[in-house]
């Protein structure tokens, strides 16, 4: 790594990165976008140049940023076709794509960028509300260096949730919505036609239990 002192600032040329594909799967409300933001911020902290991409038709929270259910944000470019952004990729080292399941060219774009030495991180639903593969997204699995599947909390029985269940009668696969249209469910609750939604999604604004109160309660039950 070559470093040059420019005035009072040290500028370093990072060694060329080896391309790779990282995939973050999971149902809705499992923290995929949060994990994507965490990884991107880590690369930014290490002086990697990052491009963040959001799906343009998803206007639930923000039209200029990648935004999570609990209001975390990162400035992003909007697109419906990833190849439209190729002209911006020469100057970046890392590309983060949110809602990857909606991009029809996600597989070819990811493979091309990785072969060019880019690190591409894709956060996506692996399955539809019918528990079938979402578009071509599962074709990323044999191409990826890293694949993780996160779980949510079942919004009916509070078990680990690996699936997304739609609330409503729409039959189309692409119906964008949040807790008003979907719930995270476990295997048993997915089999129910209308599971009771006992845990409507809330933001994480509520304070955590105080440590001293927690310790006091532990003493009461010991």
Short-list 119, 102, 117, 92, CA closest to 21: 119
pLDDT at 110: 98
Average pLDDT, whole number, for the chain? 81
Give me 43's structure tokens. 């690369």
Q: Is residue 208 part of a domain?
A: no
Q: Is residue 78 part of a domain?
A: yes
Q: How far apart are CA 153 and CA 49, in angstroms?
A: 34
Q: Is residue 204 part of a domain?
A: no
Give the domain range for residue 138: 15-150
Each residue's pLDDT tens digit, 51-100? 999 998 876 666 667 777 666 777 889 999 999 999 999 999 999 999 99
Each residue's pLDDT tens digit, 124-166? 999 998 899 999 999 999 999 999 999 999 999 999 999 999 8
Domain count, the chain: 1
Q: How far apart are CA 185 and CA 159, in angstroms?
A: 8
The domain that contains 34 carries what CATH number?
3.40.50.300
Question: Which residues are known catalytic residues?
Answer: 99
| pTM of the complete model | 0.78
Cα–Cα distances in angstroms (integers) from residue 195 to residues 178, 184, 190, 191, 201, in the given order: 17, 11, 8, 9, 15
Q: Is residue 40 part of a domain?
A: yes
Q: Is residue 219 part of a domain?
A: no
User: Is the pLDDT score of 217 beyond 60?
Assistant: no
Confirm whether residue 182 is marked as ligand binding. Answer: yes
Q: Is residue 99 part of a domain?
A: yes
Q: Is residue 198 part of a domain?
A: no
Mean pLDDT of 97-111: 96
Q: Is residue 171 part of a domain?
A: no
């Amino acid at each position: 790594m070559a470093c040059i002192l420019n005035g009072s600032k040290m500028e370093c040329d990072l060694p060329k990165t080896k391309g790779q594909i990282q995939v973050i799967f999971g149902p809705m409300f499992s923290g995929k976008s949060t994990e994507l933001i965490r990884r991107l911020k880590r690369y930014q902290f290490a002086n990697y140049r990052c491009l963040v991409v959001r799906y343009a038709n998803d206007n639930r929270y923000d039209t200029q940023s990648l935004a999570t259910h609990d209001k975390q944000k990162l400035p992003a470019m909007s697109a419906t076709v990833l190849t439209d952004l190729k002209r911006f990729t020469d100057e970046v080292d890392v590309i983060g794509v949110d809602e990857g399941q909606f991009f029809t060219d996600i597989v070819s774009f990811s493979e091309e960028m990785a072969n060019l030495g880019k690190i591409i991180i894709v956060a996506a639903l692996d399955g539809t509300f019918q528990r079938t593969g979402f578009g071509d997204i599962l074709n990323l699995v044999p191409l990826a260096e890293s694949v993780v599947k996160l779980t949510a909390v079942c919004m009916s029985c509070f078990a680990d949730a690996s699936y997304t269940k739609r609330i409503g009668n729409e039959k189309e696969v692409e119906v964008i919505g949040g807790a008003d249209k979907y719930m995270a469910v476990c295997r048993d609750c997915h089999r129910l036609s209308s599971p009771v939604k006992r845990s409507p999604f809330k933001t994480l604004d509520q304070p955590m239990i105080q440590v001293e109160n927690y310790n006091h309660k532990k003493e009461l039950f010991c």
